[in-house]
Amino acid sequence: MPKNREVLMDEEKRSNQNYEIIESCTIGSTELVIGHNPNAPNPYVCWYCKGGSNYFLGYYTNEFDDARKKLNERYQSECRMPYNQPAQKQKNGDDRER
């Protein structure tokens, strides 16, 4: 489970397409969210989100556990992306041990 996972309770509620955002986690500049709409044919969705309002690549499912599993898969995938790796210091000739 991502360490910076957030269960949204007291902060301002967000929604997209009548799904209330109930969980989120962030890696780099990418946010992953789980939404819930009890009236939808598939009441749970896992989306990528940019800028707090641009939701895309939704994975819709009937089970909360499936949505959370998808969120974890996407989180692990994002962790492996080069743009989410910490920058490594470049060594040059002046950095050698003396």
pLDDT at 98: 58
Report the pLDDT value the prediction gives residue 90, as an integer from 0 to 100.
63
Higher pLDDT, 15 or 2: 15
CA–CA distance, 33 with 45 (Å, rounded to integer): 8
Q: Which amino acid is at 87?
A: A
- pLDDT reported for residue 17: 96
What is the model's pLDDT at position 65? 98
Q: Are 35 and 51 in contact (CB under 8 A)?
A: no
Give tens-digit pLDDT for 39-98.
Answer: 999 999 999 999 989 999 999 999 999 999 999 999 999 999 988 888 776 666 665 665
Q: Give the whole-angstrom CA distance, residue 48 versus residue 31.
A: 6
Euclidean distance between CA atoms 59 and 33, whole angstroms: 11
